[in-house]
Amino acid sequence: MGQRFDIPPLSQINSQIEQIRRNIEESRNLRITSRKYLKNYLNQINQIQRPQDNLGAPRNDNPSSLEVYKWFVTKEKAIYSSINFMRQGNATYIGYFWSPSEREDEVRVKLRTYPTTSIERFENHSIKPPTFIKSNDFTFVFQEIVNTYGVPMHKEINPAVFAIVTFPFLFGVMFGDVGHGFLVFLMGLIFIMINRKYKNDPDMEGYLSMRYILLMMGFFAMFSGLIYNEFFAIPMTIFGPSLYKLEV
């Protein structure tokens, strides 16, 4: 099936083409005006009263209004999410939470800042406690590796204790090379030396947290490399002839 169109006279065709061009121009102007209006509107709602420095010039250390609104919405969402876990009483909300015994006094001090808040220890219950594992700068990465596969239950043996030795050692067995292992060892050593200077830098936090595991992996890689007689994939003869022979 086809569709039939009547061709208007030449004079009408020219006028219709001109009309289409005017419509295109109007649409283009409307788009430019709308974008300019939207940009000005966003700039207006993004204005915030900024403090001034000693010379009277505005400082730029405050966030934008949109960022403040985002923080507010995130905070409100977190508050209501926590309230949903509580039971509503006559005038208050009642909820249960776990806290380490050694930090109970710290929790009570924090809650004293809210006059209507009280805390009581709930004893003689059959609820199974959650897992609480202490970690420090040295054991943090090993614990995170174990938690990736599974968090041990309450009073279960923590595999991270054994992973502190087995993980770097098995890495050294796989990566055994004195030269490459020294580079990993040196990287961990540098991170340890600069940790105090850059520990509050969010961009360096992830790298610095791996400083001890890199140091140990590099050490075991060098240890295994000495056994393999490998230095940057070049056979060594420190402990006698190389284990590799060149066949011609």
Three-class secondary structure assignment of 126-157: CCCCCCCCCCCCCCHHHHHHHHHHCCCCCCCC
What proportion of the chain, given as a percentage, has pLDDT over 90?
28
Give me the pLDDT at residue 120, please. 80
Q: Tell me the whole-structure pTM to 2 decimals.
A: 0.57
CB count within 10 Å of CB 176 equals 20
Lowest mean pLDDT across 111-125, 149-163, 233-247: 233-247
Give me the pLDDT at residue 245, please. 60
* Residue 88, H or E segment: strand 87-88
Residue 10's Cβ-side half-sphere holds a number of Cα atoms within 13 Å equal to: 0
Map residue 182 onto helix, strand or coil.
helix
185 against 51, higher pLDDT: 185
pLDDT in tens, 82-103: 888 888 877 788 888 888 888 8
Instruction: Return d(Cα 96, Cα 115) in angstroms, integer.
Output: 18
pLDDT mean over 221-239: 80
Instruction: Return d(Cα 67, Cα 86) in angstroms, integer.
Output: 29
Interhelix angle 178-198/211-228, nearest 10 degrees:
170
State the average pLDDT for the chain.
Answer: 82
Instruction: Return d(Cα 117, Cα 106) in angstroms, integer.
Output: 15
Instruction: Return d(Cα 184, Cα 216) in angstroms, integer.
Output: 9
pLDDT in tens, 16-38: 888 889 999 999 999 999 999 98
- Residue 81: phi and psi, rounded to 5, are -65, -40
Instruction: Return d(Cα 162, Cα 1) in angstroms, integer.
Output: 79
Confidence category of residue 48, pLDDT binned at 50, 70, 90: low
